[in-house]
Amino acid sequence: MGDYRTTTGEAAPIAPEERKRRKGRRRLWIGGGALFGAVLLTGVPIPYRVTATGYVASENYAEIRPAVEGVVAEIRVGSGRRVERDTLLARLDDREQVAQIEEIRGLLRKLEAQFGRRKAEIAEMKRAMESAVAVARLREKNAAGKLARSRELLERGLTSAATTEDFSLQQELAAAELAALLERDLTLPERELESLRFEIEAQTEGVARIEAQRKKREIRAPFDGLVVRYEFSVGELVRPDMVLFEMFGGERQMLKLRIPERHATRIVPGQSYRARLASYRDLRLIRFDGHIEALRDIIQADGVRTYRTAYASFDAGSYSVPPGTTAEAKIHTGNVRLWQYILGFD
């Protein structure tokens, strides 16, 4: 008797109980939206963290690249080996430089022998010249003395003018011989010797220069530490932009992180981080804490990814964490407003 019926196709009217439930849900949505809007408008601050990836490194760390382009001739050290500073890790083909050095050294030996021989000849020439000059001086002195005595005898009438003339001629000849010896140019042999000396010095510098080029083909450890070898083989052409080894040294460990370029300006020294290591991902939540210590001033690229490198303190605590262990860190950069976080205005 209380039922409502229609024959025109209209929907049945909503029951009072259903109308109350709908009104309650509408109020709930309106209230939630108003609360959410208020939160957005009031700007509730929330912590903002930048995610970065990297790995554990030692206090002394180096990426070792070849100084010049070349073909790998020898690999001396593999991954996991501890070496001392200046240990030869690998060597590029240096046969061309070695051949050039041997050729120049052969020429140097000839030049040095020629220099020594010529130096001895010049020394002997000088000794002979000094002896000849000494003898010429004595002859000139003797001739001058005889001429003086002959003139005295001529004045007394004890000798003839012809004899005195002969002594005068002998004195003039002795003086001319002495003058000719004194005027002889000995600088030409000295200049020849100096030219040989300059050539020897130039060739010696050439050996040193090529030896330095050869040394650049030796890849050596920059400090004491653990070596990690990258994938390369004997006979492979390598370039200065290729990393062949990494080295870890020192007692203190650190965390080396890659900060995505879009967040690079948000990271500064002193910010804290919390990291998880790939080797310690199990049911336990093992985290490691530290802070950013330094950042590189350049933006680097790895394929299409660009990043900035940050160096952070790292304390392994009671865990034994080997260098190279990968990590994922969340760096606390401060607080942002909730609406900024939701809309991505970071």
Which DSSP state fits 94? -
Lowest mean pLDDT among 23-37, 152-166, 230-244: 23-37
Q: Rounded to an integer, what distance in angstroms lies between the CA atom of residue 59 and that of residue 321?
A: 14
Q: How far is CA 226 from CA 98, 133, 205, 233, in A?
A: 31, 74, 37, 20
Burial 246-281 (b: 16+ CB within 10 A, else e): bbbbeeebbbbbbbeeebbeebeeebebebbbeeee
- pLDDT value for 212: 94
Q: How far is CA 237 from CA 64, 177, 213, 240, in A?
A: 16, 73, 17, 11
**Which residues does 64 contact at the CB level (< 8 Å), separation at least 6?**
89, 219, 221, 222, 243, 244, 245, 246, 247
pTM: 0.55
Q: E strands, 115-229, where?
A: 218-220, 225-229
Q: Are 105 and 136 in contact (CB under 8 A)?
A: no
**Does residue 25 carry a pLDDT above 90?**
no
Q: Which helix (H) or strand (E) holds 331?
A: strand 326-337
* pLDDT tens column, 281-312: 765 678 899 999 888 888 888 888 899 989 89
**Does residue 246 carry a pLDDT above 50?**
yes
- pLDDT value for 1: 47
pLDDT band at 179 (very low <50, low <70, confident <90, very high): confident
Beta strands at 245-260 and 237-238: parallel, antiparallel or unpaired: unpaired
Please, which contacts does 201-204 make with residues 24 or more away whose CB atoms are closer than 8 Å?
203/104, 203/107, 203/108, 203/111, 204/108
Tokens of 84: 């001392």
Q: Compute the average pLDDT of residues 121-150.
A: 88
Helix orientation angle between 95-156 and 161-182, rounded to the nearest 10 degrees: 160
Q: Rounded to an integer, what distance in angstroms lies between the CA atom of residue 287 and that of residue 275?
A: 6
**Does residue 33 carry a pLDDT above 70?**
no
Lowest mean pLDDT among 122-126, 162-166, 245-249, 277-281: 277-281
Tokens of 56: 């554990």
- pLDDT value for 343: 52
Is the alpha carbon torsion for 334, 337, 341, 343 positive or negative?
negative
Q: Compute the average pLDDT of residues 42-50.
A: 70
Which DSSP state fits 283? S
- pLDDT value for 238: 95
Q: Are 38 and 31 in contact (CB under 8 A)?
A: no
φ, ψ dihedrals at 278, nearest 5°: -60, -30
Percent of the chain at pLDDT exceeding 90: 36
Q: Are 290 and 20 in contact (CB under 8 A)?
A: no
**Does residue 219 carry a pLDDT above 50?**
yes
- First-to-last CA distance in the chain? 65
Give the type of residue at 293.
E
| Longest distance between any two alpha carbons in the chain, whole Å | 196
Lowest mean pLDDT among 59-68, 145-154, 249-258, 337-346: 337-346
The helix, strand and coil proportions of the chain, stated in percent and rounded to the nearest 5, come to 45, 30, 25
